[in-house]
């Protein structure tokens, strides 16, 4: 590289790492926790499976259309680039505004908190303490967990500043671990289903009867609002499937590897989620899963005292493997969340980088480390903001300002979920804008089933948005209000720059080939 030439992001992400980013950023804590909130809304296994399938099909339809948009503009920034090119600078800025301040940063803070809490559960598990020789009653105190949370964020930030190869390699390893844990959950019940098989260490044999009732005898008993709420939970578990696009500028042969990684990753996720939910229902009935959402679950496992299962995955492990199994599942959740956390820290800063380049955020955010060729400043800013959120929530909780009940981080992410789905749907629908505006642009990949694929995706997404307004009106209204504040900031501060700042929307797509 010429010493006077500015460094650029390197295209070093191959198809395996790209697929690992898709899988790793989707699978977090949702598949371990959301089934408990879905069970009371949809008390029929057949409908539960249908909801997960519909959610997966929604993501696949979105990915089929989204891949064409991503291949057309394989540049760093993802949705920010697509929305700016399709609808103008305001749309791109509003996505970046919501994503940085709430969606990405609060999700990173929440994932790091769940990681520390899961480690605390492993350490405090009495069977684990006996197995490794820890003193009985050992546990991580509140501030020890918070210090671990911030330390984890800072450590992963340094790893990703050090180089995208290092961060991507770690992502592949963590994705393999979390996939192995989900496969283990999926197959474990089948070792104990037969009456001739050995008795499970946990003492409770899985049984097909737990799947009953499969379908309602009277469909009038099925609540549309309940199905909508279940879809919200499923959508959260699938959320993050677009996280590959922000690093498109660092993917080798993006015209080939972008759609390949998107569709492969999403397909694997759908198969894993369905298999894991079948395993859950073989080990516990829907009524027992719903019981976990109550403040004081009335389950036989109460004899374990502080080791009462808090998630469907923990109940599954306790039934089949006993108390030590709960420690194992906490470790699995910990690894899964760690992988999702690393993926978000790898992907998230690229949005700030792109906005800094375009003048819609401070210019110093597009600084590239001259040696490691990573957006080091953007990574540091996002990690520090997420760490600050952890500390702010901790102080507010200790002062009694935040009360028990709904998690503060869940509340923050719920506020932004309405806006996230809104903007993500607009990004998928951008395929129509580009087909009309750029009819002769080179398209190595074209959405199959166009225009019906994006239309069906938009219709289902609209249903989820309406259900959000009905079921979570406060969160939806807060999300819309935050978007309105962002629009005011843009008009007062940034719109003055007009067309003189940064690359303009509606430019011809970059035909980058393999570079």
pLDDT per position as a tens digit, 357-374: 888 888 899 898 888 888
Distance between CA atoms of residues 334 and 314, nearest Å = 12
> Do 338 and 344 meet the contact criterion of CB atoms below 8 Å apart?
no
pLDDT in tens, 487-513: 999 988 766 555 444 444 444 555 443
Is the pLDDT at 478 greater than 50? The verdict is: yes
Confidence at residue 437, expressed as pLDDT on a 0 to 100 scale? 93
Structure-token pair, residue 378: 């953007």
Distance between CA atoms of residues 62 and 26, nearest Å = 14
Per DSSP, which regions of 106-227 are E strands?
none
Lowest-pLDDT choice from 128-142, 200-214, 319-333, 420-434: 128-142
pLDDT band at 4 (very low <50, low <70, confident <90, very high): very low
Confidence at residue 427, expressed as pLDDT on a 0 to 100 scale? 92
> Do 326 and 309 meet the contact criterion of CB atoms below 8 Å apart?
yes
Average pLDDT over residues 221-241: 79
68/195: higher pLDDT: 68
Is the pLDDT at 245 greater than 80? The verdict is: no
Is the pLDDT at 278 greater than 90? The verdict is: yes
Confidence at residue 1, expressed as pLDDT on a 0 to 100 scale? 47
Confidence at residue 186, expressed as pLDDT on a 0 to 100 scale? 93
Is the pLDDT at 305 greater than 60? The verdict is: no
Phi-psi region of 373 (alpha: psi -120 to 50; beta: other; left: phi over 0): left
The two most distant CA atoms of the chain are separated, in Å, by 76
Structure-token pair, residue 446: 């074209």
Confidence at residue 234, expressed as pLDDT on a 0 to 100 scale? 85
Residue whose C-alpha is closest to residue 493's, from 313, 325, 362, 352: 362
Distance between CA atoms of residues 307 and 137, nearest Å = 12
With the C-alpha atoms ordered 495, 496, 502, 506, is the resulting torsion angle positive or negative?
positive
CA angle at residue 21 from 85 to 316, to 5 degrees? Answer: 130
Q: Is the pTM of this model over 0.85?
A: no
pLDDT band at 241 (very low <50, low <70, confident <90, very high): confident
Residue whose C-alpha is closest to residue 68's, from 285, 269, 250, 245: 245
Confidence at residue 410, expressed as pLDDT on a 0 to 100 scale? 55
pLDDT band at 303 (very low <50, low <70, confident <90, very high): very low
Distance between CA atoms of residues 514 and 251, nearest Å = 8
Distance between CA atoms of residues 236 and 172, nearest Å = 22
Structure-token pair, residue 337: 């969340």
Is the pLDDT at 6 greater than 60? The verdict is: no
φ and ψ of 403, to 5 deg: -100, 165
Distance between CA atoms of residues 257 and 248, nearest Å = 10
CA gyration radius, the chain: 23
Across the chain, mean pLDDT equals 80
> Looking up tokens 């210019």, which residue turns up?
363
Average pLDDT over residues 48-70: 87
Fold of 22-496: Amino acid/polyamine transporter I (1.20.1740)
Peptide bond into 213 cis (omega under 30): yes
CA distances, 159 to each of 114, 165, 268, 309, 352 (Å)? 20, 10, 27, 34, 18
Distance between CA atoms of residues 211 and 296, nearest Å = 24
């Amino acid at each position: 590289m010429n010493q006077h030439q500015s460094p650029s992001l390197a295209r070093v992400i191959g198809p395996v790492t790209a697929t690992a980013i898709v899988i790793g950023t989707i699978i977090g804590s949702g598949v371990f926790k959301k089934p408990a909130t879905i069970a009371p809304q949809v008390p029929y296994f057949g409908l539960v499976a249908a909801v997960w399938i519909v959610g997966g099909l929604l993501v696949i339809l979105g990915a089929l259309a989204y891949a064409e948009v991503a291949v057309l503009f394989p540049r760093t920034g993802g949705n920010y680039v697509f929305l700016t090119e399709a609808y103008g600078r305001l749309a791109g800025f509003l996505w970046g505004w919501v994503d940085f301040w709430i969606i990405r940063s609060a999700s990173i803070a929440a994932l790091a908190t769940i990681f520390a809490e899961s480690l605390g559960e492993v350490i405090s598990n009495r069977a684990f303490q006996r197995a490794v020789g820890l003193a009985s009653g050992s546990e991580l105190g509140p501030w020890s967990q918070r210090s671990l949370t911030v330390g984890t964020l800072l450590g992963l930030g340094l790893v990703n500043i050090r180089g995208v190869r290092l961060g991507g390699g770690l992502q592949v390893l963590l994705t393999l671990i979390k996939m192995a844990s989900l496969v283990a959950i999926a197959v474990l019940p089948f070792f104990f289903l037969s009456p001739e098989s050995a008795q499970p260490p946990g003492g409770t044999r899985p049984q097909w009867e737990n799947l009953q009732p499969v379908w309602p005898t009277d469909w009038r008993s099925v609540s549309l609002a309940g199905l909508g709420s279940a879809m919200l939970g499923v959508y959260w578990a699938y959320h993050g499937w677009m996280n590959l696009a922000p690093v498109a500028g660092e993917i080798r042969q993006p015209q080939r590897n972008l759609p390949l990684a998107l569709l492969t990753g999403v397909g694997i996720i759908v198969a894993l989620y369905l298999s894991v939910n079948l395993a859950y229902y073989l080990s516990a009935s829907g009524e027992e899963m719903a019981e976990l959402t109550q403040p004081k679950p009335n389950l036989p496992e109460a004899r374990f005292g502080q080791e009462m299962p808090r998630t469907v995955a923990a109940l599954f492990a306790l039934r089949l493997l006993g108390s030590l199994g709960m420690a194992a599942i906490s470790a699995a959740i910990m690894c899964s969340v760690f992988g999702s956390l690393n993926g978000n820290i790898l992907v998230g800063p690229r949005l700030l980088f792109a906005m800094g380049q375009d003048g819609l955020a401070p210019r110093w955010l597009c600084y590239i480390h001259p040696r490691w060729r990573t957006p080091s400043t953007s990574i540091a800013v996002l990690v520090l903001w997420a760490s600050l959120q952890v500390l702010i929530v901790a102080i507010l909780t200790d002062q009694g300002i935040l009360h028990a009940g709904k998690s503060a981080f869940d509340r923050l992410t719920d506020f932004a979920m309405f806006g996230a789905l809104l903007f993500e749907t607009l990004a998928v629908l951008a395929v129509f804008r580009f087909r009309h505006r750029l009819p002769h642009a080179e398209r190595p990949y074209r959405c199959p089933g166009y225009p019906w694929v994006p239309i069906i995706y938009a219709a289902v997404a609209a249903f989820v948005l309406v259900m959000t307004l009905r079921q979570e009106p406060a969160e939806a209204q807060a999300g819309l209000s935050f978007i309105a504040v962002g629009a005011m900031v843009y008009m007062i501060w940034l719109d003055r720059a007009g067309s003189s700042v940064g690359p303009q929307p509606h430019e011809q797509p970059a035909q980058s080939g393999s570079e």
